[in-house]
Amino acid sequence: MKKAVILLSGGLDSATCLAMAKQNSFAPYALSFRYGQRHEFELNSARAVAQAHGVKDHVISNIDLRAFGGSALTDEIDVPKNRDESAISNEIPVTYVPARNTIFLSFSLAYAEVIGANDIFIGVNALDYSGYPDCRPEYIKSFQNMANLATKSGVEGNGSLTIHTPLINLTKAMIIQMGIELGVDYSLTHSCYDPMDNGTSCGHCDACQLRLKGFEEAGLTDPLIYSS
Whole-angstrom distance, CA of residue 214 vs CA of residue 86: 15
> What whole-number distance in Å separates Cα of residue 109 and Cα of residue 120?
8
Residue type, 185: D
> Can you tell me which of 67, 76, 78, 219 binds a copy of itself, judged by CB under 8 A?
67
Report the residue number, 119 or 134, with the smaller CB distance to a copy of itself. 134
- Considering only residues 171-210, where is the footprint of a copy of itself by CB under 8 A? none
Choose, by CB under 8 A, the member of 26, 41, 111, 193 that binds a copy of itself.
111
Q: Quick one: angle between helices 12-23 and 172-181, nearest 10?
A: 50
Task: Note whether 157 binds a copy of itself by CB under 8 A.
Answer: no
Distance CA 165, CA 207 (A): 19
- Tell me the DSSP string of 98-131: TTHHHHHHHHHHHHHHHHT--EEE----TTTTTT
# binding residues, a copy of itself (CB under 8 A): 45
Question: What whole-number distance in Å separates Cα of residue 40 and Cα of residue 30?
Answer: 17
Between 50 and 105, name the residue whose CB sits nearer to a copy of itself.
Answer: 105
Binding mask 77-96 for a copy of itself (x = CB under 8 A): ---------------x---x
Rounded CA separation 37/100 (Å)? 12
Only one of the segments 12-20, 128-136, 171-179, 206-214 lies at the binding site for a copy of itself (rule: CB under 8 A); that segment is: 128-136
Report the residue from 23, 24, 90, 102 that binds a copy of itself according to the rule CB under 8 A.
102
Instruction: Give bridge partners of residue 162 from the DSSP assignment.
Output: 119
Residue numbers at the binding site for a copy of itself (CB under 8 A): 59-65, 67-70, 92, 96-103, 105-107, 109-111, 113-114, 133-134, 136, 138-139, 142-143, 145-147, 149-152, 154-156
